[in-house]
Amino acid sequence: MTSIAEALTTRRVQTDGLTHQVLEAGDGPLVLLVHGFPELGISWRAQVAALAEAGYRAVAPDMRGYGGTDKPERTEDHTILHLVGDMVDLVRALGHQTCVVVGHDWGAPVAWHCALMRPDVFTAVAGLSVPFQPRRAAGPPTPAMAAISKRLGRGELYMNQFQAPDAHSIFEADVATGLRKGFYSYDGATPDERQSTGFIASGHDFLSEVPDDATLPPWMSEAHFAEYVAAFTASGFKGPIDWYRCLDLNWSLTVFLQGKKIRQPSIFMVGERDPVRHYAGQHEAGLKDWLTDLRSQTVLPGAGHWLQQERPDEVNAALIALLRSL
């Protein structure tokens, strides 16, 4: 008999705007799983299998600019409006009218904005690692982040460094090293003094601050890592970094969302030792003010950033509990 894990399939799905590569399994209500940086749909394997086993159709796409999905050349084609639109298109192309959306890392803001902009399509939302951050009326994010970095005297936030036109080149110079250092520096098993804080000292970049003897996280097998290396060697990092280059453009395009709240059922999970908490953690305290049906807010002890891969059992249980409560 074929197990659910063995039944996971990869295929390409044509939407109005893109051809998406997706990892999928199961039948039933649709759940979309949205990855972040520098990940792929394969980061959700444990969730696709568990959700399929629980009676849902779980679909994890490679997102715009990543892996086997189309890669628009223009930076400005990677805004939050494009990313939400991609997910709306994908729901329809998969033959559904509604779904639950789950996002991790950069995928979390995509999921939050799916729920915010299209509540008719996205009936519930789960965010992992990055809390919902309401639009700032005071101005775009990169000048604000630069001001915070200056005030704290901790160096430049990596998201500001990623605005540079050649920011992706440090990853493409040695793909395996770039990915290994990225996973290591944000992992829960990495000692405090070797974890990234997100703030980069003068004269350094995102990778140069990470020790050269960085190892793969305990949950990352060599075979799994090789899949990432092959995919990013083929596709490059320009598209993924373009998501960051659109931060201020996103702000200018979303004035219509100023003050808007997410009213669908929602959950949020974060690792206790997730470095993202150094620069986005302040938004955790006010989540209940913006997510009016927040069903749970969980901090996983000892966990780092790569939550669905570091702690799949807890993540799977939380997602299934949300789905069954709907």
CA pair distance 157, 150, nearest whole angstrom:
10
What per-residue confidence (pLDDT) applies to 6?
64
Strand partners, 265: 293
Of 48, 53, 55, 54, which Cα lies nearest the Cα of 8?
48
What per-residue confidence (pLDDT) applies to 164?
97
Q: How many CA atoms lie within 13 A of 148 on its CB side?
A: 15
Which of the residues 70, 86, 105, 242 is marked catalytic? Answer: 105
User: Going from the N-terminus, what domains does the chain have, and what CATH number goes with each?
Assistant: 4-135+256-325 (3.40.50.1820), 141-244 (no CATH)
What per-residue confidence (pLDDT) applies to 1?
43
Q: What does the pLDDT look like over 263-298, one tens digit per residue?
A: 999 999 999 999 999 999 999 999 999 999 999 999
Task: Spell out, as residue ranges, where the chain has pLDDT lower than 70.
Answer: 1-6
Q: How many CA atoms lie within 13 A of 238 on its CB side?
A: 12
H/E segment holding residue 123: strand 122-128
Q: How far apart are the first and last CA of the chain?
A: 31
Report the share of the chain in percent with pLDDT over 70.
Answer: 98
Which of the residues 20, 82, 104, 305 is marked catalytic? Answer: 305
For residue 226, count other CB atoms closer than 10 A to its CB: 11
Helix, strand, or coil (residue 161): helix
What per-residue confidence (pLDDT) applies to 5?
59
Identify whether 113 is a catalytic site residue. Answer: no
Q: What does the pLDDT look like over 94-144, one tens digit per residue?
A: 999 999 999 999 999 999 999 999 999 999 999 999 999 999 999 999 999
CA pair distance 313, 26, nearest whole angstrom:
18
What per-residue confidence (pLDDT) applies to 42?
98
Identify whether 305 is a catalytic site residue. Answer: yes
